[in-house]
């Protein structure tokens, strides 16, 4: 049975620590963390969750980006080129930027509820990861999906989006 776990909020040390790589095959407790992370994500109106946000210091992400925005705060998802990134668990993800060019856009975070701010991110990248069985995957992402993955990857590095805001006057209530 998987559980909905409380989401770790701003000011908690685990959010600012680098998460550890996961070894294969996945241990039973790691599989339980994965299931809890997916169940917890589904219980939010968020699009992605990093394991440190549920107090697990491992390089695991759960991402679930629909084609159509699930909440009003995502209405900037109206990009006609936006594609869904269906529910995926990414183990030990790595990112390689494809564009030097960065674009600014709004971000928010389940660990900073009620706030948003503008952050510059690479427009396109290659994301590589392992699934829970240990199979390697690679996918090119651009635009909003590339932004979400960069935000989540930062969580594994102990960085939160608020630290990336260049014009702090954009840090504001949703």
Residues that bind Ni ion (CB under 5 A): 109
Q: How far is the CB of 110 from Ni ion (least distance, A)?
A: 6
Active site residue 152: yes
Q: Toward Ni ion, which CB reaches closer, 109 or 149?
A: 109
β-strands 85-97, 115-122 pairing: unpaired
Q: How far is the CB of 111 from Ni ion (least distance, A)?
A: 6
Q: How far is the CB of 108 from Ni ion (least distance, A)?
A: 8
CA dist 66 and 77 (Å) reads 9
- Residue, CB closest to Ni ion: 109
Catalytic residue of the set 104, 128, 133, 152: 152
Active-site residues, by number, are 152
């Amino acid at each position: 049975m998987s559980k909905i776990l409380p989401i770790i909020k701003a000011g908690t040390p685990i959010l600012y620590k680098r998460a550890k790589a996961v070894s294969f095959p996945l241990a039973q407790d790691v599989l339980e963390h994965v299931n809890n992370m997916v169940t917890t994500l589904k219980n939010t109106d968020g699009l992605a969750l990093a394991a440190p946000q549920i107090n697990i210091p491992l390089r695991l992400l759960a991402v679930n980006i629909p084609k159509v925005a699930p909440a009003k705060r995502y209405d900037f998802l109206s990009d006609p080129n936006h594609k869904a990134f269906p529910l995926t668990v990414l183990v030990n993800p790595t990112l390689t930027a494809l564009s030097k060019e960065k674009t600014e856009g709004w971000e928010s975070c389940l660990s900073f509820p009620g706030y948003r701010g503008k952050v510059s991110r690479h427009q396109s990248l290659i994301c590589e990861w392992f699934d829970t069985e240990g199979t390697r995957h690679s996918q090119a992402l651009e635009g909003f999906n590339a932004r979400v993955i960069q935000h989540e990857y930062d969580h594994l590095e102990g960085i939160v989006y608020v630290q990336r805001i260049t014009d702090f006057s954009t840090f504001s209530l949703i």
